[in-house]
């Protein structure tokens, strides 16, 4: 599971905030350039890897090998996202490298932007919205540009002419009716046939479901994640899997991943980590999902290593049926100082549970806080690049989570880069009510945002209990909104508790106001910048935030606790009484916990439909217009740092040096040159 970027992260307007933990290492006077470029609806950022230099040589070497293994999987994701993606990317890259014409020409510029979007999305569909990109250049221009490049650099199929290539590829790029959506979730349609992703070929949804239903044994207490690492195809009328493994599908890329993992294994920090890497290699070699589970169990039990990684077929968001996993990698090491913060929270989990404002019968007698690690990302790759999550909670298999636990991490340096990049971007000046709130947020916003995330992850999700006999899925489609609201409210309620100051987690008794203001402003208005005009709110984190903010706004009206005022046609959120806001958060937490604990589907439906879904069209239009003027990008992604291994005369690594000066296009072209082993057609 991925933790989603909370939009309030882009709201703070401070320059040079000093705060605790991971952000403290980046000094207040920070001349690092966090922002690189902007195009379409995207902004490219850079992140630092604080603490890398202080690692010892063996640790640096391990990270180096793991980053190489991470980069080798890039082509896999392109192909998983759509079967024409590699061909389109390579064709565009050939033009980008060789175009002899005027590069200031409008059509060329449009082609360049299109390629940058393809790089960003790892394919021709929007990474978040899933819709196919609309090219701003003409088929005629593309045909001319193709004719101008060396034919040997074009990704033609065996014996294919350039004309035949264009006839095959152009409809995929230009015809809006061809592969319009990467992942289609619309009810009532064949989700496989209508989705452009490449996890299935020639099979219908019914055939795929029948294929996997036949494999599953509902009585199995340790069920295999069937389908996770394969494409399902129909060959000669037979439905069968093409397994991603050495010697199977995507073998050339997987062999390279394995090559670097073997080197990593030799410099592992300890025996536990060595067996984790060995088991992953074995899984890549066999494709056997039983070994994948064994690997996941070893991985979740390795808590001592400073360096950690994700590498493989992991998340299933890219498959409309939610079974097949996209390839991703993240290499990281523990941020010792910031992890202290989550350990403090976790060590006090019972106190928080005992003092929470929910009915005693819904509380856990014995609660164990999750000790969320704060990590420093060293590289982002596959489905975590360039757009990334700010935290990860793995493994995904429920039975492994229940029997062996899970690792929940927050990526400190990424969160920090988002914060730093947003300072001074004008967002706060536009939407925050006054200098009073602005100052609070400047001073405490980054820290309280991090802390709220920690409370949400370490305590919120793990708090409370179900009444005997209540089905965990009783809340059906409303379940995830209610669950996110529960975790957010638990954190919000405690943000204002003196206990946090006492534990040294907050520097002052009023710091929490920064998060309260940010949260309410976001939930009442500013998160709407992510919604297209005319649409309602669908995503469960966004629903949860609006639910909380609207409920508190409405219930506080008799006492004027929170207002929405209008000045010169602009709406602002005003918080008149922060302590009453806290009381209301507590009340709502009590009700949300009751709904969860008793499985009260009717109450869940009512509260979600009443507060979380509908958008006020007038306010929405106003927010969109104000946001548009700021010329900010709703989506952000990162370039990676560059790691260079310094070797002696015998080829032995004597140091690994990290630099940050590579730009977006240079990095993408380098990756396509150095880490691109798959054929164009797989």
Write out the residues near Zn ion by the rule CB under 5 A.
Answer: 484, 487
Whole-number minimum distance, CB 317 to Zn ion, in Å? 15
Cβ–Cβ < 8 Å for 633, 42: yes
Of 303, 297, 596, 600, the residue nearest 462 (C-alpha): 596
Whole-number minimum distance, CB 493 to Zn ion, in Å? 15
Query: Cα dist. 405→243, 332, 338, 395, 461 in Å?
Result: 28, 20, 21, 9, 14
Nearer to Zn ion, 66 or 390 (CB): 390
Nearer to Zn ion, 297 or 394 (CB): 394
Nearer to Zn ion, 107 or 454 (CB): 454
Please state whether the peptide bond connecting residue 386 to the residue before it is cis, i.e. omega within 30 degrees of 0. yes
Nearer to Zn ion, 17 or 487 (CB): 487
Whole-number minimum distance, CB 4 to Zn ion, in Å? 8
One-character DSSP codes across 276-345: HHHHHHHHHHH--HHHHHHHHHHHHH--S-SEEEEEEEEE-TTSTTS-S-EEEEEEEEE-HHHHHHHHHH
Cβ–Cβ < 8 Å for 130, 183: yes
Task: Give the position of tokens 């004719």.
Answer: 147
Nearer to Zn ion, 483 or 600 (CB): 483
Nearer to Zn ion, 352 or 427 (CB): 352
User: d(Cα 346, Cα 372) in Å, to the nearest integer?
Assistant: 8
Whole-number minimum distance, CB 390 to Zn ion, in Å? 12
One-character DSSP codes across 503-514: TTSSSSTTTHHH
One-character DSSP codes across 385-406: SSS--SEEEE---HHHHHHH--
Whole-number minimum distance, CB 607 to Zn ion, in Å? 18
Whole-number minimum distance, CB 455 to Zn ion, in Å? 11
Nearer to Zn ion, 408 or 680 (CB): 408
Residue 362: CB atoms within 10 A of its CB come to 18
Nearer to Zn ion, 72 or 484 (CB): 484
Whole-number minimum distance, CB 456 to Zn ion, in Å? 6
Residue 29: CB atoms within 10 A of its CB come to 8
Nearer to Zn ion, 35 or 480 (CB): 480
Whole-number minimum distance, CB 461 to Zn ion, in Å? 6
Nearer to Zn ion, 338 or 370 (CB): 370
Whole-number minimum distance, CB 539 to Zn ion, in Å? 12
Q: 132 CB contacts (<8 Å, ≥6 apart)?
A: 124, 125, 126, 176, 179, 180, 181, 182, 196
How many helices (DSSP H) and strands (DSSP E) are in the chain? Answer: 25, 16
Nearer to Zn ion, 27 or 398 (CB): 398
Residue 208 sits at φ, ψ, to 5 deg, of -65, -45
Task: Give the position of tokens 């350990």.
Answer: 343
User: d(Cα 297, Cα 278) in Å, to the nearest integer?
Assistant: 13
Nearer to Zn ion, 487 or 547 (CB): 487
Whole-number minimum distance, CB 162 to Zn ion, in Å? 50
Whole-number minimum distance, CB 588 to Zn ion, in Å? 16
User: d(Cα 588, Cα 607) in Å, to the nearest integer?
Assistant: 11
Q: 591 CB contacts (<8 Å, ≥6 apart)?
A: 603, 607
User: d(Cα 384, Cα 365) in Å, to the nearest integer?
Assistant: 38
Q: Output the six-digit token pair for 105.
A: 């020409």
Whole-number minimum distance, CB 1 to Zn ion, in Å? 8
User: d(Cα 241, Cα 447) in Å, to the nearest integer?
Assistant: 47
Edge-to-edge strand list for the sheet holding 391-394: 2-3, 391-394, 407-411, 373-382, 326-334, 307-315
Find the residue with minimal CB distance to Zn ion: 487
Whole-number minimum distance, CB 608 to Zn ion, in Å? 16
Nearer to Zn ion, 10 or 455 (CB): 455
């Amino acid at each position: 599971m991925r933790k989603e970027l909370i939009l309030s992260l882009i709201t703070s307007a401070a320059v040079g905030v000093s705060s605790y933990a991971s952000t403290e290492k980046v000094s207040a006077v920070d001349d690092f350039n966090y922002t690189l470029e902007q195009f379409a609806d995207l902004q490219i950022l850079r992140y630092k890897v604080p603490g890398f230099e202080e690692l010892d040589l063996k640790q640096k070497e391990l990270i180096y090998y793991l980053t190489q293994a991470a980069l080798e999987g890039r082509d896999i994701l392109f192909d998983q996202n759509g079967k024409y993606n590699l061909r389109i990317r390579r064709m565009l890259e050939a033009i980008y490298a060789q175009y002899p014409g005027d590069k200031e020409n409008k059509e060329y510029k449009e082609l360049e932007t299109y390629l940058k979007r393809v790089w960003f999305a790892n394919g021709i569909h929007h990474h978040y919205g899933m819709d196919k990109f609309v090219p701003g250049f003409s088929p005629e221009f593309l045909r001319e540009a193709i004719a101008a490049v060396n034919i040997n650099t074009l990704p033609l199929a065996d014996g294919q002419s350039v004309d035949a290539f264009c006839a095959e590829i152009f409809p995929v790029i230009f015809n809006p009716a061809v592969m319009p959506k990467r992942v289609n979730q619309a009810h009532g349609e064949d989700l496989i046939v209508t989705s452009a992703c490449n996890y299935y070929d020639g099979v219908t949804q019914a055939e795929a479901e029948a294929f996997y239903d036949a494999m599953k044994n509902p009585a199995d207490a340790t069920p295999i994640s069937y389908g996770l690492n394969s494409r399902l195809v129909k060959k000669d009328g037979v439905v069968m899997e093409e397994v991603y493994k050495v010697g199977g599908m995507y073998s050339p890329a997987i062999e390279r991943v394995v090559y670097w993992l073997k080197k990593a294994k030799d410099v592992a920090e300890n025996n536990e980590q060595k067996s984790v890497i060995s088991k992953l290699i074995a899984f890549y070699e066999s494709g056997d999902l039983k070994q994948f589970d064994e690997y996941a169990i070893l991985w979740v039990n390795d808590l001592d290593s400073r360096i950690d990684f994700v590498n493989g077929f992991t998340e299933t968001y890219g498959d409309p049926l939610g079974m097949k996993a996209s390839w991703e990698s993240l290499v990281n090491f523990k941020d010792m100082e910031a992890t202290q913060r989550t350990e403090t929270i976790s060590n006090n989990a019972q106190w928080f549970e005992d003092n929470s404002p929910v009915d005693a019968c819904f509380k856990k007698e014995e609660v164990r806080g999750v000790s969320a690690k704060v990590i420093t990302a060293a590289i982002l790759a596959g489905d975590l690049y360039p757009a990334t999550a700010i935290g990860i909670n793995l493994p995904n298999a429920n039975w492994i989570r229940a029997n062996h636990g899970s690792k929940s991490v927050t990526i400190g340096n990424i969160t920090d880069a988002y914060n730093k990049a947003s300072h001074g971007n004008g967002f706060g000046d536009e939407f925050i009510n006054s200098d009073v709130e602005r100052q609070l947020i400047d001073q405490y916003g980054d820290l309280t945002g991090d802390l709220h995330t920690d409370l949400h992850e370490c305590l919120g999700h793990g708090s409370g209990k179900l009444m005997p006999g209540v089905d965990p899925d009783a809340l059906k489609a409303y379940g995830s909104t209610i669950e996110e609201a529960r975790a957010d409210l638990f954190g919000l309620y405690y943000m204002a508790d003196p206990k946090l100051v006492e534990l040294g987690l907050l520097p002052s008794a009023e710091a929490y106001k920064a998060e309260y203001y940010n949260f309410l402003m976001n939930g009442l208005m500013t998160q709407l910048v992510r919604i297209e005009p005319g649409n309602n709110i669908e995503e469960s984190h966004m629903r949860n935030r609006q639910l909380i903010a609207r409920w508190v706004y409405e219930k506080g009206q008799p006492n004027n606790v929170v207002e929405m005022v209008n000045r010169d046609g602009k709406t602002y959120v005003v918080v008149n009484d922060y302590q009453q806001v806290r009381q209301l958060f507590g009340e709502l937490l009590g009700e949300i916990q009751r709904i969860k604990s008793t499985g009260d589907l009717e109450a869940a439906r009512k509260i979600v439909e009443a507060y979380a879904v509908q958008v006020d069209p007038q306010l929405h239009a106003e927010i969109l217009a104000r946001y548009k003027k700021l010329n900010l990008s709703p989506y952000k992604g990162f370039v990676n740092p560059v790691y260079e291994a310094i070797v002696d005369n015998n080829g032995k690594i004597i140091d690994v040096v990290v630099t940050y000066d590579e730009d977006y296009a240079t990095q993408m072209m380098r990756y396509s040159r150095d880490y691109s082993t798959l054929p164009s057609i797989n």
